[in-house]
Structure 1
Amino acid sequence: MSNYNSFSLKNKMKNKKLAYLYLIITFCAWGSLYVVGKFVMGKVPVFMISSVRYIIAGIILFFIMKKMKPKKIEKQDYKYIFLIGFVGYFIATVAQLIGVKFSNASLASLVNSVNPIAIMLFAAIILKEKLTLKKVICIILAVVGVHTIIGGSNESGELIGILISLFAVISWSIVSVIVRRVTQKYDPIQITTYGIIIAAISTLPFSIGEFVITPNIQIDWTVVISLIYIGVVCTALAHFTWNKSLSMIEAGSCSLFYPIQPMMSVFLGWLFLGESININFVIGAGLIIVGVLISVIHNKDVEVDNKIQTKIQ
């Protein structure tokens, strides 16, 4: 029994390390989405960007999924697939892009870093994952951090962008918890593919409407390359690695890697878009990141306790 527990523990640790690698890839990709998306939205409307990214990602993932031949989705699970595709990949993602458009890449990405707290909260409610005192402290720090950011906004348009970004955070967090549940039953690439196809179908009518009514849409080689990058890296790859991570470890643990995203966005926003950072941004970021670090320390404590208990057994 002791050898079996030791093997099981090693296997779990190996899965966690692999999941952590997937999460780093995910949030580096999503961090770059804010900057590339901000550039493209200066030339192409929001729904057109979403439609193109999902069509590109959907085609790539569909052919990969077909080769894997996953099992058929059961009828009672159709509703979950629809919620993932429509609410998560369509509604939340479009809201995210609109939030970037009304604020800036760094600010919208920082607001999005509240996701770890929101996911922990919904995971506790829906999946019955433990919501400890440390997690509650993290939630409070995140709320104060976001309030600091909003309090530092001088323009009404920027405030609107922040509020839309917060709506995207709540929607995405709920869907992430649902993904955690269904990926225990189905292959993550299968869930990702079906969800993205639903998002592509949902976005297409709005995209066509934008194309008809929007003048001066600029399509050049930089836009084409940016859209391909968004479709392949920020959508197909990042959504798969996120869903894969959720299938391997708890939703709350996955969410702890969100700080990588704003760090990447801030760096790339400064490097390519010339965006500046004010004192409110720094204070808000500090509060949110401290909250996440407390969560990480809590997660490590749990792992150590599990190791000790296994050795005793």
Structure 2
Amino acid sequence: MNSRILALLATSIATIIYGVTFTVAKDVMPVYLKPFGFIVLRVGGAAILFWSIGFFIKKQAIEKKDFKRIVIASFFGIALNMLTFFKGLSYTTPISASVMMLTAPILVLVFASLILKERLFLKKVLGVVIGLVGAVILILYGNAGGEGAKSMMLGNLLVFINAASYGLFLVIVRDIIQKYNPIIFVKWLYLFGFFMVLPFGWNEIIIAKWSSMTFSIYSKIGFVIVFSTCVTYLFNLFALSKLKPTTVSVFIYLQPVVATIYALMVGSDSLNTVKIIATILIFTGVYLVTIQGKETTDK
């Protein structure tokens, strides 16, 4: 099996893990473990694993001037990103959350144009508008008339903030990530992130219903820490070393498909007209934003 096929297989597995994570994490929250407590476990566990892997990586010193950027990146890529995602997921549904995450590529384009002064073309601007309209519809009407609609609205809004935070993170680290070994970079990223999320989740760790958790619940917590965080990162890292970034990024669009199929299979979510319309609008927006044309030289 050649390296390209292995890379495609790796990013496919990562996509499946991401898609399943929406429902797996939802099974744990908020009954057994509150969202912020779950984040402390996730970030702390990932930090331990990445620092352990780091012992087998050739040492590389981080320049002092880059620590400030890593701290900022950790805030947007770990703390704000994960706290808003898990809190939002505890209020909304797996399908809505996975669809909302599709706004990330659109928001990356917006931040890149504002911060990096990248040129915007009409087609991409149209894609941003259409995609964001879909996001607004999902936030406001994703569970219109249903039980807990207000909580659903808040949940979708928090997941949107999570997508915006992640999009900003990608723009911030675009240059610095190329200076260091990815494992060296990410172990510091998660270490700083752990200290940022600890104040928010420590009390929730203490009051967690540990004694009432079944083996299945503990397994799902472990799945999120090991597979949803560490394995997906390493698999995507391997894929990026063999494939073009644009090829790897396409797989993010499969996450809602996987999340929807799994959520419907286990009966944790359902489809409605608003979700379908919002999904179509967001997919259309992402397509217009990411498609390459004659007017752009994107690689």
Band the TM-score falls in, shorter-chain normalisation = 0.7 to 0.9
Q: Which moved more, 1:29-38 or 1:214-223?
A: 214-223
Amino acid in the other structure paired with 1:31: G
| Match in the other structure for 2:101 | 112
Shift of 1:38: 0.2
Alpha-carbon separation, structure 1, partners of 2:258 and 2:46: 22
Structure showing greater radius of gyration is 1
- Using the TM superposition, give the Cα deviation of residue 70 of structure 1 relative to its aligned residue in structure 2, in angstroms: 3.9
Q: In 1, distance between residues paired with 2:127 and 2:61? A: 39
Residues 70 and 17 (structure 1), Cα distance of their counterparts in 2 relative to 1, 3 Å cut? farther
Q: Establish whether residue 68 from structure 1 lines up as the match of residue 62 from structure 2.
A: no
> How many residues are matched?
292
Q: Distance in 1 between matches of 2:74 and 2:264?
A: 32
Query: 2-side partners of 1:27 and 1:294: how far apart?
Result: 22
Preserved contact between residue 96 and residue 275 of structure 2 (Cα < 8 Å): yes
Alignment partner for residue 161 of structure 2, among 155, 161, 167? Answer: 167
Shift of 1:282: 0.5
> Paired residue for 2:130, among 119, 128, 141?
141
What's the counterpart of residue 31 of structure 1?
Answer: 19
Judging changes above 3 Å, is the alpha-carbon distance between structure 1 residues 104 and 111 closer, same or farther for their aligned structure 2 residues?
A: same
The one of 200, 216, 221 aligned to 2:215: 221
**Conserved in 2, the CA contact under 8 Å of 1:177 and 1:251?**
no
In 1, Cα distance between the equivalents of 2:151 and 2:159? 12
Is the 8 Å Cα contact of residues 118 and 170 (structure 1) preserved in structure 2?
A: yes
Is the contact between residue 123 and residue 252 of structure 1 (CA under 8 Å) also seen in structure 2? no
Identify which of 73, 95, 109 aligns with 2:84. Answer: 95
1:176 and 2:185 are equivalent in the alignment: no
On the 8 A contact 2:33/2:204 being kept in 1, the answer is: no
Match of 2:191 among 171, 174, 197: 197
Residue in 2 that maps onto 1:280:
274
Structure 1 residues 81, 243: CA separation in 2 closer, same or farther (over 3 Å shift)?
farther
Going from structure 1 to structure 2, the CA distance change for 1:125 and 1:29 (only over 3 Å counts) comes to farther
Alpha-carbon RMSD = 3.1
- 8 Å contact from structure 2 (residues 33, 209) kept in 1: no
TM-score by length of 2: 0.85
Matched AA of 2:280: G
Q: 2:109 touches 2:289 (CA, 8 Å); kept in 1? A: no
Task: Work out the CA distance in 2 between the residues paired with 1:190 and 1:20.
Answer: 24
* Aligned twin of 1:232: 226
Q: Does 1:50 align with 2:35?
A: no
Using a 3 Å threshold, how does the CA distance of structure 1 residues 89 and 22 change in structure 2: closer, same or farther?
A: farther
Secondary structure, aligned partner of 1:275:
coil
Give 1:196 deviation, angstroms: 1.4
Give me the whole-angstrom Cα distance separating, in 2, the residues matched to 1:28 and 1:264.
Answer: 6
- On the 8 A contact 2:78/2:193 being kept in 1, the answer is yes
Is 1:290 matched up with 2:284?
yes
CA distance in 1, matches of 2:38, 2:133: 33
Rounded to whole Å, the distance in 2 between the matches of 1:243 and 1:119 is 19
> Quick one: structure 1 residues 92 and 141, their matched pair in 2 at CA, closer, same or farther if it must change by over 3 Å?
same
